[in-house]
Structure 1
């Protein structure tokens, strides 16, 4: 990981000792040399598992908080790097998976399904996700495509749960 910190000039401007950078980099998962978004989503799994036992209002409240604070976290990290939406910034993936898993049925199968759905929508970026990703900038722009991918994934997961349970 430290090797990537020194190789990428934009990432080298960040420090894992800085709490904003640490969160923006998904606890360091965004420093993965390949597929940092996938690793950022993997880093969201323990966060989800910590939040899963909470009541639905608390879970939703913390998820909304992760999105709102994400606007700042992603914006600050992008400005510090001098690059808009650098791949190493993965807080948006963490918030996106948390959105996906709102009111999801318990079980590893549902977590896996949510993970796959979120990665599908985040990578494929169907309209309007792709349009937002291209047109909206700053911390809001970094977050909004993953928020929408999370909402699309949430809907698909809830429809699947409705018909399968």
Structure 2
């Protein structure tokens, strides 16, 4: 089976959003997916996109994706690629699609002169951890702390200082 890895095109939007929802359902986190199609397109295809997506295509069908953002490490003084999602449709897992997606992502980060790639994995997702380690990535155990704003509009909570 021939897999083509490429940048997401606007025409891929619905397929990528569908896979993103599938991933969220798989992790029982669908309630956290707030982005709608209009916002997705606006953020992904503006002059300076908020995020990027690489897609895996087999016989004209999208079968996986990696979404990412570019971030700046203050300590390192350099920009790195932060992977948000890695997803391969169930019927295409263990066929090398994920490896091709990750390899492509790494090469693109190198091509852009980025210092490193970083992403998170659930500590009990042993299959994914093995997959990443087999790619040569190293796992660093570190807790992830989140503090969600109560406002759906993303406004600062009452009494919190503004960041300027």
RCO (CA 8 Å, sep 6+): is it higher in 1 or 2? 1
* More helix, by proportion: 1
Fold agreement, TM-score > 0.5: no
TM-score, normalisation: structure 1:
0.25
Larger radius of gyration: 2
